[in-house]
A and B are shown apart, each in its own frame.
Chain A
Amino acid sequence: MSELIDFISFKDPGVLTILIGALAVSFASAIIGTFTYLRKKALVGDAVSHSVLPGICFAFILSGEKDPLLLILGAFLSGWISVFFIDFIVSRSKIKADSAISITLSLFFAFGAVLLSFIQNSDNANQSGINHFLFGKAAAITDADLKLFIGVLIIVGIITLLFFKKFTTICFNEDYAKSIGWNVKWIDFVMSSLTVLVIASGIQTVGVVLMAALLITPPGAAGFWTHSIRKLIFLGLIFATISTVLGTFVSYVRPNMPTGPWIIFFLSIIAILSVLFSPKGILRRLVLNRENKSKIRNENLLKTAYYLTYERELPDFSRSEIVSKRSYETLELEKGLKSLKNKGFLLENSGRFYLSESGKTEAKRIVRLHRLWELYLTNKMNFKSDHIHGIAETIEHIITPEIEAKLLAELDYPDKDPHDSVIP
């Protein structure tokens, strides 16, 4: 508990540096990541993260020292060349984007590994630590790093604001942007450059793989909650904040724990929760599916009851009489009968069932929709009368009262369906 208080009150000023630095990197990634995610180019971020290695090594070989700005410049250049290389392969050959990304990633990374082995052989005294550049160590953020990250965040923020409309348009409809005369290549160039800039500056804090996660996971998780691009960015920023604070806290309490991976861990947890529990998530969809299924079953059962009540003119009916009209699995039948009884549509008297007043109205409504639709198909769409039953079976469950009114008007308030049955 005291650790929590220490953490919140920034008793150790180092924590504040790490926290603000990590927040700046994850904010910049979340913003630009939203656009790459929407353009279905999420994995380009992964490729660029790997592809900065040769640039870093070159900068080191040429300068012979670990000047952070020079390394970032090298990273930026080689990251940018990799983006160009991916685009070149995709536009000039039949190779698809996924292969092009994968080729670029492994090729650049392997070239980096070759350069790395060259550095190690040349026995440069200053070489130690260049490996760590790739795996990230957020705990070592210096004040200079902090300024850099904040600077990058400001650049990303301002350019995104200036280009917001253009970025949004090419995310959703590149062809439209072209047709109104925008220079899509230029907009694309700006967007890619921002992505590469974020990666090149952040790579030493979070490492190669985790850099990709910072770009992909926040918009990926936010995508389950909203479709609006502003809300996507906003939610992405919130998710990034929560996980960065938690991740930094864990590595504050347990200094041996790496900050970057913990941030990604929490970010992924948020993504998993979104996949499961959000309005567009899996559980919600399962529930809707079930509700829909039981609605259809109940309505079919009501139709059967209508047939038995009005056309066979039975005062009441048993389970076997229901099944003789329309086959139901035993379990489904029981569920349906129970549900209809609970709703007050169906009444039971020692094993025999009959429709209540409200049940009669509801049953009539469904049969009416079914027969109206059949009539519509034959009269207006020129279907043959033996082809229409199946279609009507599907549509009857989803016709709203408004559509029903329109159908009635369109068909001139009919009283018989194509099979000469009365429309109730």
Chain B
Amino acid sequence: MNEWIFDIWTIITASTVACTSAILGSFLVLRKKAMVGDAISHSVLPGIVLAYIVSESRASWVMLIGAAVFGVLTNIIIEFLNKKAKMNADASIGITFTWLFAIGVILLAYFTEGGIDLDQECVLFGEISMINLDKVLVDGNLYLGPYAFWFIFPVFIIVLAFVVFGFKGLKITSFNEDYAASLGIRNGFWNYALMSLVSLSTVMSFESVGAILVVGFLVIPPASAYLLTKRLIPMIVLGCVFGILSSIIGFYFAKSFNLSISGCIVCATGIIFLVNLIYSIIRDRSRKNISIAQ
């Protein structure tokens, strides 16, 4: 089979993760919850370890459920500390995910004493270059892409459907919680629904493509788009475009220099972000000059 087909599938998989993350990430950036993605990517470790112990295999549905449960739990603890215990938002996030991560490492150490094969680097650094090892083949020769893609694609559909059908609620609660409450829209519901989807998609994606890539995709492309537009839909669309663009650039760069693909893709999003940042600084300065001249 031609090697370029594998390359294309790798880019398609990365782009699917990019779009899923850009859609959800736009809301996270607007809600000032950008760090939640990073928190979840660490705090699901105990869930992954426990699920591995139960199911005795990697890449299983049990593992994903375990991780997703801990993702949601992370959000509940953060909200509890922040709203009920009146702790600063950032301290609540910091305490919660480091605590859960520590428990994860301890569990890992406890079970590896009994000789199981699961190390933390593997868990946290899933690598997108590995996805073509698990192929979906029909009749032994019709290649339908890597297993990881068919893992992530349903999540993308779920996220897309959620945002399309819940657009009004999500939008209003993201921009103005008080206004939403006055309209009778339940902030808590939309918050937890969004966070649960973030947990699900983070877990689903980083099992196959790596935590670095997911956390990067979740914030950098939406933030780049946020520099260019004030409107929500263009922000989401631009975020997806930036994500896809960096998947292509990063992949080919990594391939030609034999470097980490996930790392290079995130660096590509970073370069796009820097270009946008510089552009927005120059634009704001010239606007200021014009208004002074007038």
Residue ranges of A at the interface with B (Cβ–Cβ < 8 Å): 37, 40-43, 45-46, 89, 92-96, 98-99, 101-103, 105-107, 109-114, 116-118, 121, 131, 135, 209-210, 212-213, 215-217, 219-220, 223-224, 254, 256-258, 260-262, 264-265, 268, 271, 275, 280-282
Contacts and interface: CB of A to CB of B under 8 A. Distances in A.
B102 interface: yes
Contacts of B112: 256
Interface residues of B, number: 61
B88 A110 contact: no
Given A89-B277, A95-B226, A114 B260 contact: yes
Contacts, number: 191
B102 A46 contact: no
A131 B32 CA distance: 32
A92 B278 CA distance: 9
A212 B95 CA distance: 9
B109 interface: yes
B118 to A, nearest CB: 14
A98 B34 contact: yes
Contacts of A131: 121
A42 B223 contact: no
B94 A110 contact: no
A216 B267 contact: no
B260 A113 contact: yes
Contacts of A215: 94
A254 B106 CA distance: 11
Residue of A117, A121, A282 with most partner-chain B CB within 10 A: A117
A135 B42 CA distance: 13
A271 B85 CA distance: 11
Nearest to A268: B99
Contacts of A268: 95, 98-99, 102
B216 A107 contact: yes
Interface in B73-116: 81, 84-88, 90-91, 93-95, 97-99, 101-103, 105-106, 109-110, 112-113
B98 A94 contact: no
B91 A216 contact: yes
Contact of A106 (B84, B91, B216, B277): B216
A210 B102 contact: yes
Contact of B109 (A41, A99, A111, A256): A256
A93 B281 contact: yes
Contact of B277 (A93, A118, A219, A265): A93
A258 B258 contact: no
A278 to B, nearest CB: 10
Given A110-B263, A257-B109, A264 B88 contact: no
B79 to A, nearest CB: 13
B273 interface: yes
B109 A265 contact: no
A265 B112 CA distance: 19
Contacts of B121: 131, 135
B220 A103 contact: yes
Nearest to A255: B113
A264 B98 contact: yes
Contacts of B281: 92-93
A43 B216 CA distance: 16
A99 B94 contact: no
A286 B262 CA distance: 48
Residue of B29, B218, B219, B273 with most partner-chain A CB within 10 A: B219
Given A103-B34, A265-B106, 12 more contacts: A42-B94, A96-B29, A98-B35, A103-B273, A106-B219, A209-B102, A212-B98, A216-B91, A223-B91, A256-B113, A265-B99, A281-B85
B34 A99 contact: yes
Contact of A116 (B97, B105, B113, B260): B260
